[in-house]
Amino acid sequence: MSSKLKFSPYLLCLLALVNTSVASSMITEDDLFGELHLVSSVTHMKQRVDKTPAAVTIIDRRTIEASAAVDVIDLFRLVPGFRAYYINANYPGVTYHALGDSNPRRLEVKVDGRSVYESIFSSVQWTTFGVELEDIDYIEVVRGANAPANGSNAFLASINIVTRAPLLNSGLSLRGQMGNDGIRNGSIAYSGKLGELDHRTTLRFKSNDGFDDFSGLYKGSPRPVSLDDDADAVSFGFRGLWTPNAKDAVELQFGVNNSDVGIGRQDYIQREIDYDYQHLNWSRINPNGSKYEFVYYHNKFDIADEQDPLTFYQALTLFPEGPLRDALSLLPDKLIIEPQSKAVSERWDAELRGTFSAWDNIRGVYGAGARRDRVRSNDLFDMDDTASENSYRGYINLEWNVADSLAFNGGLITEVRDDVKDLNSFRLAANYQFAPSQTLRFAFNQGYRAPTLLESNQATFVRYDENLVLDASVLSADDIDAERLLSSEIGYVGSFLQGSLNIDVRLFRESMSSVIDERREQYADFDGLLNVRDNTDYADIYGLEWQLQYRPNEKFFIHANYSFVDLTQITLYRSTPEIVVRDTSGDNPRHLGAVLVNYVTESDLSLSAMLNYQSTIYHRIDEDNASYARLDLKAAKSWQVKNTQAQLSLTVQNLGGQYRERYFYNQFKTRVILGMQLDF
């Protein structure tokens, strides 16, 4: 208990300090909050950050350019409570607070409002959706459950990546990067007009060789591992904007991506992913200030995994000698594992929303949407047909400004799915400005996450025929239920020094029940065991997180964050022949932190240092992930040559000793990347 309470005095001291600071500055509310960003990802309404019912981190364009990030997921190290990690060198994961497995699946991620969360692996495939650092205008990260705005996927948090509008740039842009680990990246982009359509069109290539082969010690003994985790990707993207009149705007996006990625756990396979998307957004602003918006999108993943083919007689060598093996050997031989495993994941989604104002102090947004998910995989679903699901949702979010210093927010969403009990998630929040430029937020959430198509339908079997199962790997329980989250928080937002210093603090508790995972059971196959996907886990989380941004001028800024997460997680590991319950609380780091410092010299040389810290992760079976502090440096210089803007950059990631990512053989060593950019 003391580990949770010891942070309270620091929080009280912080509140007292900032209160005194403001009292002496005599700055008005408009001076301070005028500099705060407006965000829309929390409720689908434009709100100041001191009015939102949830904590928000905004990663703007200047932060992106100043950071030492090479990939998009590097940016989330700047968000308190977020952990970015690599399962394989080109198979990253991002999670918030807990449950950071190989396919983290409780985080909604959108690009310009289009969800990129897909159903076949119940997660986000970060390397395939074709958005890179140079495409991004800013990112809104909602730190906390956000189901009333984004539905079941936003169980723990949500991210909306907003790409750069075609109107922001014009002309041709060339970019390239080269570095060790075989990093070879290049892109060509053009922004211009096609008649009345403003557009940005991009063609991109990315390639790297992954992590180096491992030749060190594991549990005190030599354990060499050859890593075949390289990747190549080619993508094309188009974003067009048409404004036929002063009221309407129509945005069209589409793109394709082809990726070849090496994945696995010591034994690697090559995965080819063909991904395409189409996205339409229409919006109308009415004379009274209200707004209508219609959003439609379609995503499709085609996945092909190379694998070692296996015949029936080859499989029999895995069976112990005895009567069963002798009886099976009388059957004719045939191919039971194909040399390639194929899968398809597809989503169609449409949503209509509108905003309104009632009287002078109440406004809101309402919306309704429909979605269809379809997946197909003989290996994962043990059937030749597709598995599909239709879902429907309706929601409303309200903001009631009772007084200048007090605002209430409420949100409710109802989700209806095939063969699943209706889910009703809600949020209640109060924002109280107790002093100029200082606001306290009190919020409570009840949220549900429905099982995905994979979670509720998986049946991974190796069969001889429809009557004979040779090996059963994973089977979904028939009565799998939705996960439930109860969360409460006290938040603080303060702005000082004429808006140059902004502080955000969040004290929270999150309780998750009926968490979906796998338990071991006995089964009549060659090894006698089966993993059953079911509601097996419970998690209770206490913690504190804060972020600070200091920007005294255009030449210098500091961004810092820290999170403390006290996790208790219990999992039902086995229920037969005896019940085995395990404590998996150590699978999450208790401490995460980051600092980014940027300074631009008088000669326009941008210098950055980015430090990340992660405390130890304690594993039950594997070796622990030791704590690490990673230092990244970046220097960038720009020149104007006639009508051409040129930039050279040098980025050094992880200056110093190597550290471990996920598995013992994923060793992140020092990387040096040289970048060049030409804008015509």
Residues 184-203: tens digit of each pLDDT = 999 999 999 998 899 999 99
Q: Cα–Cα distance between 368 and 355 in angstroms, integer?
A: 12
Q: In sequence order, what DSSP letters do the residues of 340-402 get, joined into one string?
A: EEEEEEEEEEEEEEEEEEETTTEEEEEEEEEEEEEEEEHHHHSSSS-EEEEEEEEEEEEEEEE
Question: Which residues contact residue 478 at a Cβ distance below 8 angstroms, ignoring those fewer than 6 apart?
Answer: none
Nearest Cα to Cα of residue 458 among 514, 371, 526, 530? 530
In Å, how far are 177, 260, 289, 372, 440 from 29, measured between CA atoms? Answer: 44, 53, 24, 46, 15
Q: Buried b / exposed e across 505-524, counting CB within 10 Å, b at 16+?
A: bbbbebebebbbbbbebebe
Could you tell me if residue 246 is left (phi over 0), alpha (psi between -120 and 50 degrees) or otherwise beta? alpha
Question: Do residues 88 and 262 lie in contact, with contact meaning Cβ atoms separated by under 8 Å?
Answer: yes
CA Rg, the chain, in Å?
26
Q: Cα–Cα distance between 671 and 533 in angstroms, integer?
A: 39
Looking at residue 23, what is its pLDDT?
36
Question: Which residues contact residue 619 at a Cβ distance below 8 angstroms, ignoring those fewer than 6 apart?
Answer: 586, 587, 625
Q: Cα–Cα distance between 418 and 177 in angstroms, integer?
A: 47
Give the number of other Cβ atoms within 10 Å of residue 180's Cβ. 13
Q: Cα–Cα distance between 303 and 284 in angstroms, integer?
A: 38
List 86's β-bridge partners, or say none: 92
Give the number of other Cβ atoms within 10 Å of residue 571's Cβ. 19
Residues 130-173: tens digit of each pLDDT = 888 999 999 999 999 999 999 989 999 999 999 998 887 788 99
Q: Cα–Cα distance between 509 and 486 in angstroms, integer?
A: 8
Question: Do residues 122 and 455 lie in contact, with contact meaning Cβ atoms separated by under 8 Å?
Answer: yes
**DSSP code for 132:** -
Question: Do residues 83 and 101 lie in contact, with contact meaning Cβ atoms separated by under 8 Å?
Answer: no
CATH 2.40.170.20 domain range(s) in the chain: 2-306+339-679
Q: What is the pTM of this model?
A: 0.91
Question: Which residues contact residue 417 at a Cβ distance below 8 angstroms, ignoring those fewer than 6 apart?
Answer: 389, 390, 391, 392, 423, 450
138 membership: H or E segment, kind and range: strand 136-143
List 430's β-bridge partners, or say none: 408, 442
Residue with token string 């190290």: 77
Question: Do residues 229 and 90 lie in contact, with contact meaning Cβ atoms separated by under 8 Å?
Answer: yes
Residues 266-283: tens digit of each pLDDT = 889 999 999 999 999 999
Question: Do residues 276 and 257 lie in contact, with contact meaning Cβ atoms separated by under 8 Å?
Answer: yes
Q: Cα–Cα distance between 11 and 539 in angstroms, integer?
A: 25
Q: Cα–Cα distance between 348 and 346 in angstroms, integer?
A: 7
Looking at residue 36, what is its pLDDT?
52
Token representation of residue 404: 């200048």
Nearest Cα to Cα of residue 165 among 201, 195, 137, 204? 137
Q: Cα–Cα distance between 55 and 50 in angstroms, integer?
A: 9
Question: Do residues 292 and 248 lie in contact, with contact meaning Cβ atoms separated by under 8 Å?
Answer: no
Pairing relationship of beta strands 197-208 and 231-242 according to DSSP bridges = antiparallel
Task: Give the start-end residues of each E strand in 286-361.
Answer: 291-306, 310-311, 335-337, 340-358
Backbone φ and ψ for 51, nearest 5 degrees, come out as -110, -10
**DSSP code for 584:** -
Q: In sequence order, what DSSP letters do the residues of 27-57 get, joined into one string?
A: --HHHHHTTSPEE-TTTSS-EETTT-SSEEE
| 28, HSE (Cβ side, Cα atoms, 13 Å) | 3
Question: Do residues 57 and 77 lie in contact, with contact meaning Cβ atoms separated by under 8 Å?
Answer: no
Token representation of residue 254: 């589409």
Pairing relationship of beta strands 459-465 and 468-476 according to DSSP bridges = antiparallel
Low-confidence spans in the chain with pLDDT less than 50: 1-35
Q: In sequence order, what DSSP letters do the residues of 601-615 get, joined into one string?
A: -TT-EEEEEEEEEE-
Looking at residue 28, what is its pLDDT?
35
Q: Cα–Cα distance between 183 and 418 in angstroms, integer?
A: 45
Question: Do residues 462 and 469 lie in contact, with contact meaning Cβ atoms separated by under 8 Å?
Answer: yes
Annotate 212-250 with three-state secondary structure.
Answer: CCECCEECCEECCECCCCCEEEEEEEEEEEECCCCCEEE
Looking at residue 169, what is its pLDDT?
76
Question: Do residues 475 and 456 lie in contact, with contact meaning Cβ atoms separated by under 8 Å?
Answer: no
Nearest Cα to Cα of residue 228 among 666, 672, 676, 619? 666
Q: Cα–Cα distance between 671 and 647 in angstroms, integer?
A: 20
Could you tell me if residue 663 is left (phi over 0), alpha (psi between -120 and 50 degrees) or otherwise beta? beta
Could you tell me if residue 135 is left (phi over 0), alpha (psi between -120 and 50 degrees) or otherwise beta? alpha
In the CATH hierarchy, which fold is given to the domain comprising 2-306+339-679?
Maltoporin; Chain A (2.40.170)
Question: Which residues contact residue 322 at a Cβ distance below 8 angstroms, ignoring those fewer than 6 apart?
Answer: none
Question: Do residues 192 and 173 lie in contact, with contact meaning Cβ atoms separated by under 8 Å?
Answer: no
Looking at residue 9, what is its pLDDT?
35
Q: Cα–Cα distance between 224 and 308 in angstroms, integer?
A: 22
8 membership: H or E segment, kind and range: helix 8-25
The residue type at 429: A
Question: Which residues contact residue 262 at a Cβ distance below 8 angstroms, ignoring those fewer than 6 apart?
Answer: 88, 89, 90, 210, 227, 228, 229, 230, 231, 268, 269, 270, 271
Question: Do residues 285 and 291 lie in contact, with contact meaning Cβ atoms separated by under 8 Å?
Answer: yes
Question: Do residues 109 and 129 lie in contact, with contact meaning Cβ atoms separated by under 8 Å?
Answer: no
